[in-house]
Amino acid sequence: MNLKMMSLGKKPSVIREIFEYSNRRKAQIGAENVFDFSLGNPSIPAPKAVNDAIVSLVSEGNSVALHGYTSAAGDMAVRTKIAENIKSRFGADASAQNIYMTCGAAASLTVSLKAVCNEGDEVILLAPYFPEYDVFVENANAVSVAVCGVGNNFDLDLSALEKAISEKTAAIIINSPNNPTGNVISAEQIEALAALLKEKSKEYKKSIYIIADEPYRELTYGVEVPYIPNYYDNTIVCYSYSKSLSLPGERIGYIFVSPKCEGASDIFAAVCGAGRSLGFVCAPSLMQRVAMECDGMTADISEYDKNRRLLYDSLTEMGYTAVEPKGAFYLFVKSLEEDANAFCERAKKYELLLVPSDSFGAEGYVRISYCVAYDTIKRSLSAFKALYDEYEVK
Ligand code: PLP
C-alpha cells in the first residue's frame, strides 16, 4: 500500500471537517440556526439553457452515440466550438487542436502540471491559494513554492516573485478571480508578471509556464478579467464549468494550450499523455455536449452580488477588515486575533462556521463563502456583531 496516499485519504481537509461539524450541529439545533459559510458550492441554479440542452440531447434518440466514448481529448465538434468561442470572446488564437476536455478544473490542473513538470521542478503558488494545489503539485513530482500577495488585496508581489523564480521553476499558477480573496489581477499586473517571466525564461534558457486556473472567470462584479494568453505566450488555461454554469457535480471543463506556447503541439501531446497516464481521458460525454451548447453562458450571479454587497458592507461597517471582492463568491476577512484557528473556534459559539486562512497558505484571515441564501447572511449579521463585540470588550 502507498502510505502517502493512505494518509492523504485519511486526512480530511479543514473545509470537509467544518462541513461534517456543520451537519452534526444542524441535527442538534436545526439547520436554520447554523450559519455555514464553509463550502464553495454554487447556490444558484444552472441556467435554464443547461437543462434544456440536457433534455434535448437525451431526447434526440441516438443514445448510443451520446453516451459513448468520445476521442480521448474530447469530441471534435465540442472542441471546435470552444476554440471558436475563445477566438470570438477573447481575441486569442485557438483551434480544436489546442483544447483537451476534462473533468473540471481539478483534473485540468492535475493534467497540466503533470504535462509541464519534471521530477524536482518547482511550481510557484500565490498565497493565499486553493489548498488542493499542494496535492496536485506533489502528484506531478514537483515542489510548491508559495509567494504571498501584498497590500490590502493580496496583489502580486513582483519583487518576491523575482526572488522565488529559479532554474527549477516550471510554472506559476494564477487564479483570478481568486479563491479565497475574491481579488482580480489587473491587466497592468499581468503585463508586469509576463515581462518578469520572459526575462527569467531567457536567463534560465527554459520555458516557464503560466497555468491560469479559471473556474471563476465569469463570476465578476463590474471588472474585466484579463485573458492571460493575450499577455503571455507560454500559457495553459485550466477552465471549468463548475461555477459559471453551477455544475460542480457534473465534472466538466477543459484545458486550452495556447498555440503561442513554444512547442505548442508537443505540450498538447504532453497534456494528452498526462491525461492518459492519470486516466483522465474522454470527459463525460453528455456534459461535453452541454458545454458545447452553453459555453460562454453564466448562471444569474446577481444573487451572489447582492450577498457580496450585504456581507462586505455590513462587516466593514461593524469594524471588520476585509478584501473587497471583485469576483468569485468568497469574502476574505481579517481575523480579530492573531490565530485564525482560535478565532474560528470562537465564531462557532455564535454558530458561525468560517474557514481559517492557514489552509490557504496565509495566516490571520478567515474565508467566508457567500454562495448561500441571502436570508442566511441577513440572519447571521447579529452573530458577526456579537463576535466583534466580544473582542472589543477585551
Ligand atoms: N481551482 C479553484 C481555485 C477552486 O476554487 C476549485 C473549486 O472550488 C477548483 C479549482 C476545482 O474546481 P472543479 O470543481 O472544476 O474541479
CA of 43 to the centre of ligand 1 (A): 15
Strand bridging mode 355-356 / 99-102 = unpaired
Closest CA to ligand 1's atom 12: 105
Task: Choose the residue to mutate in 14, 103, 132, 246 for probing ligand 1, maximizing ligand atoms within 8 Å of C-beta.
Answer: 132
The C-alpha atoms of residue 218 and residue 244 are separated, in whole angstroms, by 6
Q: What is the mean pLDDT of residues 106-127?
A: 98
pLDDT digits (tens, 9 = 90+) for 364-394: 999 999 999 999 999 999 999 999 999 976 6
- The answer to whether 117 and 142 have CB atoms below 8 angstroms apart is yes
- Here the cell at position 141 is 513530482
CA of 305 to the centre of ligand 1 (A): 20
Strand bridging mode 235-240 / 209-213 = parallel
Residue 55, pLDDT > 70, answer: yes
- Here the cell at position 286 is 453528455
Closest CA to ligand 1's atom 5: 179
Average pLDDT, the chain: 96
The C-alpha atoms of residue 299 and residue 44 are separated, in whole angstroms, by 7
Number of the ligand 1 atom closest to the C-alpha atom of 106:
16
CA of 388 to the centre of ligand 1 (A): 31
CA of 154 to the centre of ligand 1 (A): 19
CA of 29 to the centre of ligand 1 (A): 31
* 211: nearest Cα among 189, 229, 230, 224: 229
43 pLDDT band (50/70/90 cuts)?
very high
* Residue list, ligand 1 pocket, CB within 6 Å: 40, 104-106, 130, 175, 179, 213, 215, 240, 242, 248, 253
CA of 389 to the centre of ligand 1 (A): 35
- CB contact set of 21 (below 8 Å; sequence gap of 6+): 348, 353
pLDDT digits (tens, 9 = 90+) for 154-174: 999 999 999 999 999 999 999
Residue type present at position 193:
L
Opening angle at CA 213, ends 212 and 218, nearest 5: 105
Secondary structure (3-state) at 30: coil
Peptide bond into 42 cis (omega under 30): no
CA of 273 to the centre of ligand 1 (A): 22
- CB contact set of 129 (below 8 Å; sequence gap of 6+): 146, 173, 175, 360, 361
* 169: nearest Cα among 120, 241, 229: 120
Number of the ligand 1 atom closest to the C-alpha atom of 103:
16
pLDDT digits (tens, 9 = 90+) for 250-300: 999 999 999 999 999 999 999 999 999 999 999 999 999 999 999 999 999
- The answer to whether 128 and 357 have CB atoms below 8 angstroms apart is yes
Strand bridging mode 169-174 / 143-148 = unpaired
pLDDT digits (tens, 9 = 90+) for 217-253: 999 999 999 999 999 999 999 999 999 999 999 999 9
Task: Choose the residue to mutate in 136, 243, 252, 371 for probing ligand 1, maximizing ligand atoms within 8 Å of C-beta.
Answer: 243
Secondary structure (3-state) at 308: helix
333 pLDDT band (50/70/90 cuts)?
very high
CA of 106 to the centre of ligand 1 (A): 6
Number of the ligand 1 atom closest to the C-alpha atom of 240:
15
- The answer to whether 116 and 170 have CB atoms below 8 angstroms apart is yes
What is the secondary structure of 144-173 as a DSSP string? EEEEE-BTTTTB--HHHHHHH--TTEEEEE
Q: What is the pLDDT of residue 62?
A: 80
Q: What is the pLDDT of residue 394?
A: 61
Kindly state the percentage of the chain with pLDDT values over 90.
94
Q: What is the mean pLDDT of residues 121-140?
A: 97
Number of the ligand 1 atom closest to the C-alpha atom of 130:
3
- Judge if pTM exceeds 0.75: yes
